[in-house]
Amino acid sequence: MKIVIIGAGEVGYSIAKALYTNNDVILIDKKEESCRRANELDVQVLQGNGANVNILNQALPADLVVAVTGNDEINIVACIAAKLITKNKKPIMTIARVSSPDYINKPIAHRRSVGMDFMICPELTLASEVAGIVSVPSAIGMDAFADGRVKMMEFRVDRNTTFDGMSLADAEIPDCCVISALIRGKDILIPHGDDVMHEGDHVIVIGKPESILEIEGMFGGMPGMRNKVMIVGAGIVGFYIANLLARRGDTDLKIIETDEERCIEIAGMLPDALVLHGDGTDEALLRSEGAGDMNVVIATTDSDEKNLLCLLLVKQLGAKKIIAKVDRSEYMELFEMVGIDAALSPKQATINGVLRVTMGAGVESLATVEGERAEIVELIASPGAKVTKKPLGRVKFPKGAIVSVIVRNNEVIVPRGVHQIRAGDRVVVFALTSALPKVKKLFG
């Protein structure tokens, strides 16, 4: 494919890095420093405004335009302009990154009527993930596939919970879900029946949403429990999270924000939340507002350093689960090393969202795991594909991959060796990144 990426910041650069090996990529950015960095890749670089028709004309025609600058309006205008320029020529797909609730109300939306195939909102993607893991004490990650018919949850095995010291063969998990991976320290294991789960292991479970709800209780979840949640930082991400939690009606919500005008605005939009004007790194304020008694504290300010300091303070005070928004990808490992339960990145959410719609025919969606060392992909089996010719027990699957779920029409199947994939089936596969190319060949 010929791909034009507008915005060569961390997000645009990362998307280009993921795509340039097998595609013809052009990066556009106004900043000289960003262009200089982009030149490190084997891509064409244009310096200028990506919404400028003259600049776009130099890059087009193309198969795909991805606009991921930090400005919603530039991204939208660039996509509309690209569609107009190529209107009577080769068909083009456009993707715009947007953040404002004025433009979008779900993580990924179709906007073809106004010249965009997709709008991606990374802040809403992150907020949806946080809202999904707040109510389960040991849950630290979630995602959805097959239009919500399949759910993935990542749990931590805590001491004295059901699975601590138990082998997978003895784990009585619901029929409509499967343990797809064990993460132990830096190792990612495709599990076998004799593998034993231990305190501190992370377990990835994939299956029907109702089965995942059932398994939540086995990992310490308490259905119907009211959650005490504190959010530090009421920017776009903080507001999206607060709004999702407020709608559920099972959360006692406190919000701390340094900007007094923003506090008044948020209090008007979320009347059931307690909104406090203050600094989330002020230990006296955190102590007086009961941060140590919270089920979950979420730090979503625009400063990674402030988020880290705030969460270390509340952890010391006794908060049960702590979640951070992290903008700088190089900090992700540090946050997890010091005990942050979940470190989530809007930038990574953007990258994942773009890759979901650019990975080629047959690949419907993607989620990266453990710093991109493993991936969960939803593949569509092509007519005549190798994977459709034999029952799964006889298909030579790569060692680092496992078929987790088959979706056939509206039926969700947790496969056994006797099941056979059919053309058109949507199949959720957990795979080490190194094994993914071989997996895709089976479905092509």
Same domain, 272 and 379: no
Distance CA 135, CA 18 (A): 34
Distance CA 162, CA 174 (A): 14
Mean pLDDT of 350-366: 66
Q: Which of 120, 154, 181 is the last residue of a domain?
A: 120
For residue 144, pLDDT beyond 60 = yes
Question: How does pLDDT run across 40-93, given as a tens digit for each residue?
Answer: 998 999 999 999 999 999 998 898 999 999 899 999 999 999 998 888 777 888
Into how many domains does the chain fold? 4
pTM: 0.78
Least confident of 17-26, 78-87, 235-244, 362-371: 362-371
What pLDDT is recorded for position 134?
Answer: 83
Confidence band (pLDDT; 50, 70, 90) for 281?
very high
Mean pLDDT of 428-435: 88
DSSP state of 176: T
Distance CA 123, CA 235 (A): 10
Question: How does pLDDT run across 199-246, given as a tens digit for each residue?
Answer: 888 889 888 888 777 777 777 655 556 789 999 999 999 999 999 999
What pLDDT is recorded for position 89?
Answer: 77
Same domain, 58 and 97: yes
Confidence band (pLDDT; 50, 70, 90) for 399?
confident
Same domain, 141 and 90: no
Same domain, 376 and 316: no
Same domain, 242 and 306: yes
Same domain, 138 and 112: no
What pLDDT is recorded for position 10?
Answer: 85
Same domain, 293 and 384: no
Same domain, 108 and 149: no
* Highest-pLDDT range among 40-54, 151-165, 174-188, 338-352: 40-54
Residue 420: give the domain boundaries: 352-443
For residue 161, pLDDT beyond 90 = no
CA proximity to 107, closest of 127, 92, 89, 87: 127
What pLDDT is recorded for position 53?
Answer: 92
Residue burial 374-405, b: 16+ Cβ < 10 Å; e: rest: bbbbbbbbbeebebbeeebeebebbebbbbbb
Instruction: Give the containing element (helix H, strand E) for 85.
Output: helix 72-85
Which amino acid, 361? A
Q: Which of 295, 325, 349 is the last residue of a domain?
A: 349
Which residues neighbour 162 within 8 Å (Cβ) at sequence distance 6 or greater? Answer: 171, 218, 219
Tokens, residue 93: 């797909």
Q: Which of 120, 153, 187 is the last residue of a domain?
A: 120
For residue 410, pLDDT beyond 60 = yes
* Highest-pLDDT range among 26-30, 249-253, 396-400: 26-30
* Highest-pLDDT range among 157-161, 345-349, 385-389: 385-389
Same domain, 236 and 314: yes
Same domain, 7 and 115: yes
Task: State what percent of residues in the chain have pLDDT above 70.
Answer: 93
SS3 category, 374: strand
For residue 355, pLDDT beyond 80 = no
Confidence band (pLDDT; 50, 70, 90) for 117?
confident
Residue 296's CB is within 10 A of a number of other CB atoms, namely 24
Same domain, 368 and 341: no
Same domain, 116 and 75: yes
Distance CA 238, CA 56 (A): 35
**At CA 362, angle to CA 357 and CA 366, rounded to 5?**
45
For residue 362, pLDDT beyond 60 = no
Distance CA 383, CA 444 (A): 8
For residue 434, pLDDT beyond 90 = no
Residue 163: give its domain's CATH number.
3.30.70.1450
What pLDDT is recorded for position 359?
Answer: 58
For residue 266, pLDDT beyond 90 = yes
SS3 category, 200: coil
Confidence band (pLDDT; 50, 70, 90) for 317?
very high
What pLDDT is recorded for position 221?
Answer: 58
DSSP state of 402: E
**Would you state the torsion angle of the CA atoms of residues 78, 84, 90, 95, taken in this order, to the nearest 10 degrees?**
30
Q: Helices 10-19 and 346-356 sit at what angle, rounded to 10 degrees?
A: 40
Across all residues in the chain, what is the average pLDDT? 86
pLDDT higher at 147 or 365? 147
What pLDDT is recorded for position 129?
Answer: 83
Confidence band (pLDDT; 50, 70, 90) for 365?
low
